[in-house]
Structure 1
Amino acid sequence: MAVSEVVREVESSKVTVAVIGAGVVGLCCALEAQRKGHRVVLFDRDEAGLGASFGNAGYLATELIEPLSNPKTLRSALSLWLNPKGPLFLPRQYFSRIAPWLLRFVCSSAPEKLRRSRTGLLQLNRESIAAWRRCLEDIGASEQIIKSGYLLVWESADKIDAARQHQVWLRENSIETELVQGARLAELEPELANTVNHALFFPDACRVREPYLLCKRLFATFTDRGGEFIRQRVTQTRPSGHRVTVSTELQDYSYDTAMICAGAWSKALLSDMGINVPLEAERGYHLTIPEAGSMLRHPIGSAERRFVMGPLDSGLRVVGMTELGGLTLAPIKGRFDVLSYHSSQLLPGLKDQALEVSEWMGHRPTLPDSLPVIDQHPQHPQVVFAFGNQHLGLTQAAVTAELALKLMQKEVSAIDMDLFKVSRF
């Protein structure tokens, strides 16, 4: 038999995998499936990396192990919503649709559910950097992750006890920080406003150089390794027997396995398969200021203003807002103005009117308990789910992919996969 015939026979014998969604989670899943020896086809209606993966701050937020639904957040929710410069927005025209989700969100703060969510976030985040390093080393792109450090800042002097309490809680979860003030704070960030009183410095924190360019690098490796990309909107996935039909607006395709990694658009695909998940599209906003990239040395989070900004290759990225508004509403201009206001309060250099600023809005896939779904269809295990990582999609993408492929390969994981089951709702 000729060598070319042997190659074709080997290729035809491989398990075929459709990965639906070319954001950072889908890209990591596609590459991981290739590493396992599968033939992979990637679907998306847009170019790779142009969804929520494009708009994040680039910071790998492994210290975020507290679920969004917790007693402290719920006590402050009304005041945050009513504050016109606050971080929480619920468009009035969407309120009736979001009300059932909000009830689930409140219920997720119950002690046992909160403990479960904390456990899940802690397990995922502890493994996330190592998983990213494995992924990037494999594709020769280790330089895409930078050990940058991170500063969580407070402006109110009377909040220093809050910082100390948070530091103790982080240490109990094996996350080390340094409480910094005065000259040490100025040494770390010379251009921060002098209204910043103190901060927690996370010396081991990491970021990526540029989220979109990272996605492009992942995608280029995927195609170089023989992956196929079909730029069509997937309208339905239909499991039958041991196969899965993937339908687009143009035609049907058939595969051995399908992985649903469609972010905020995953809900409709699961609904067609008889599964209802309380997945909500949380609209996130960002500003990018190309000429301001050198103003900060580290990613910065504001404990009081509740937004994040940091340096990327493209410039300074300012990210914030929690707006539960679905997939169809247009961006609201006032949200960008709020981000501009808060960022200029912490970085006075941003008040320069000559600075060019670009604006973006995207959709985060958010579930009430802050945990993703990493699971298989209960009746059709050839359909694998990997979505719902909320604010931590970039942070958890590589470890999510590894776990999803372990499920598909029937391999045992050290992480408790029951925490991420689709049936938990």
Structure 2
Amino acid sequence: MTEQTHTMNQVCDTHSTTRFAVIGAGVVGLCVALQAQRAGFHVTLIDSNEPGKSTSYGNAGYLATEVIDPLGTPDVLRAAPKLWLNPKGPICTPLKYVTKAAPWYWRFLKASQTEPAQRGTKMIHQLNQAAVAAWHRTLSDIGADSMLIKGGHLVVWQTADTINEADQLIDKMRAYQIPCEFVAGKALAELEPELSKTLSHAVFFPEVHRLSDPYAVCNALFNAFMQRGGDFITARVTALNPDQDRVNVDLTSDAGLISTLSFDQVSVCGGVWSKSLLQQVGLDVPLEAERGYHVTFPDDQTRIHHTILSADRKLVLSPLGAGLRAVGMSEIGGVDLPPIQKRFKVLREHTQSLLPDLFRKPDLQSSEWMGHRPSLPDSLPVIDQHPRFARLSFAFGHQHLGITQAAITAELLLDKLQQKTPSVSLDALRVDRF
């Protein structure tokens, strides 16, 4: 990460004409900051953490353009009790957080009914259709084309009695013009020789892309942003005060210094941490932290060739520059509670069932991580302006699809701010839709 970071005082003294602030230096905020630079703004990026080191750091890095359904659908509701009661299943809510999570789950239940779920699928599909081309434009612009890899994706099943699930998936994908094919036996083994021979069948998506490594991509985005004259402030945003002419941003540093900066435009891209800032400007958004876990095996980057989703075990395996990564779990659990340690053990067990030879290594190395996906009950992000203060805008709430939709989100938001007609209708992504 480049060291061209400015203190608050330096920015106040030397960049009094700063016009555009982006709050949040995850992958969405970084893409918005670069897109704002391309639009001619002088941009200041603000985060209390190192760019790319929060939620964006630990995901699987694959552009999940085939994942078009919201998290909540009638089928998911029918399967939820079984998944929830399974001690090795993907769904959990920490007991200490159940009461706090209840209002979110109530909205989730309503959003999971047939009609709203179908609307969600239509919206997610539109964003995902545009996602890869937007990433091509973003990475080509900064000379990092090689970080976008057309690697293909596999969804695998354990037993032959689930072939009907694969057939249903293929039918649905073809209805949305998403290329895929059924593979089994020798064809599956040729695609992924290391996969367990006990697996029955899979659906292969040849057009799915991935990023070489999510943190490395965030580094590349940030370095390009700084080289183009951007400013980065390490600070917490403690208050937003918008009016018709400007947005004042109150900042607090680790040293306790407090400063107020004024901007012509401010975009809140702070993931789950956006919620408290929105409350200050009269917006109550049901945003929750959906905790996700990963285990990364740093010496096994080349053990698999594609991203792999286990339909039975609900985890993704991804070959990244940082290593082979196993990603999974879905916990509505807030941002303050520590990880549930047994979840890492479950991830390892699931990984071993899929890649048994990996665990025969005598000196197998691995690392653990937990992050906080910003999730809204309808599984759709917010890409919008404040209904009263047009100078204040928002891009957050992408749940499992932050990496997938980051680049297209930035383009859509800047189009909206410049009063251009976005390539995708944003009506379903309003900040006040709840």
SS at match of 1:363: strand
Matches within 5 A, 1:323-402: 323-352=331-360, 354-402=363-411
Query: Cα offset for 1:414?
Result: 2.6
Query: Cα offset for 1:112?
Result: 2.3
AA aligned to 2:93 is L
**Does structure 1 conserve the Cα–Cα contact (< 8 Å) formed by 2:74 and 2:112?**
yes
Query: Cα offset for 1:350?
Result: 2.7
AA aligned to 1:420 is L
Return the alpha-carbon distance in structure 2 between the equivalents of residues 385 and 162 of structure 1. Answer: 38
Return the alpha-carbon distance in structure 1 between the equivalents of residues 384 and 244 of structure 2. Answer: 19
Matches within 5 A, 1:122-137: 122-137=125-140
Match of 1:5 in 2: none
AA aligned to 1:227 is G
Match of 1:4 in 2: none
Return the alpha-carbon distance in structure 2 between the equivalents of residues 15 and 43 of structure 1. Answer: 13
Query: Cα offset for 1:190?
Result: 0.3
Matches within 5 A, 1:40-59: 40-59=43-62
From 410, 415, 426, the counterpart of 1:406: 415
SS at match of 2:313: coil
Match of 2:3 in 1: none
**Does structure 2 conserve the Cα–Cα contact (< 8 Å) formed by 1:55 and 1:286?**
yes
From 275, 294, 311, the counterpart of 2:302: 294
**Does structure 1 conserve the Cα–Cα contact (< 8 Å) formed by 2:412 and 2:423?**
no
- Compute the TM-score of the two structures, normalised by the length of structure 2: 0.94
Return the alpha-carbon distance in structure 2 between the equivalents of residues 78 and 67 of structure 1. Answer: 18
From 207, 211, 214, the counterpart of 1:204: 207
From 57, 61, 64, the counterpart of 1:61: 64
Asked whether 1:285 is paired with 2:285, we answer: no
Match of 1:82 in 2: 85
**Does structure 2 conserve the Cα–Cα contact (< 8 Å) formed by 1:14 and 1:37?**
no
User: What whole-Å deviation, never above 9, does each CA across 1:141-160 have from its counterpart, x for those lacking one?
Assistant: 11110000000000111101
Matches within 5 A, 1:12-411: 16-249=19-252, 250-352=258-360, 354-411=363-420
Return the alpha-carbon distance in structure 2 between the equivalents of residues 407 and 340 of structure 1. Answer: 44
Return the alpha-carbon distance in structure 2 between the equivalents of residues 314 and 118 of structure 1. Answer: 32
Query: Cα offset for 1:15?
Result: 7.0
Return the alpha-carbon distance in structure 1 between the equivalents of residues 120 and 245 of structure 2. Answer: 33
Which residues of structure 2 form unaligned runs of 5+?
1-13, 253-257
Which residues of structure 1 form unaligned runs of 5+?
1-10
Query: Cα offset for 1:236?
Result: 1.5
Query: Cα offset for 1:63?
Result: 0.5
**Does structure 1 conserve the Cα–Cα contact (< 8 Å) formed by 2:308 and 2:318?**
yes
Query: Cα offset for 1:119?
Result: 1.3
Return the alpha-carbon distance in structure 2 between the equivalents of residues 205 and 335 of structure 1. Answer: 28
Aligned residues: 415
Query: Cα offset for 1:186?
Result: 0.4
Cα RMSD (Å):
1.3
Return the alpha-carbon distance in structure 1 between the equivalents of residues 405 and 323 of structure 2. Answer: 24
Amino-acid identity (%): 51
User: What whole-Å deviation, never above 9, does each CA across 1:111-168 have from its counterpart, x for those lacking one?
Assistant: 2211221111011000000000001111111111000000000011110111011101
**Does structure 2 conserve the Cα–Cα contact (< 8 Å) formed by 1:148 and 1:204?**
yes
Return the alpha-carbon distance in structure 2 between the equivalents of residues 12 and 86 of structure 1. Answer: 51
Query: Cα offset for 1:390?
Result: 0.3
From 424, 429, 432, the counterpart of 1:415: 424
User: What whole-Å deviation, never above 9, does each CA across 1:378-423 have from its counterpart, x for those lacking one?
Assistant: 0001001000000000000000000110111111113111010011
AA aligned to 2:375 is T
Return the alpha-carbon distance in structure 2 between the equivalents of residues 333 and 111 of structure 1. Answer: 36
Return the alpha-carbon distance in structure 2 between the equivalents of residues 260 and 213 of structure 1. Answer: 23
AA aligned to 2:287 is L
**Does structure 2 conserve the Cα–Cα contact (< 8 Å) formed by 1:14 and 1:38?**
no
Query: Cα offset for 1:110?
Result: 2.1
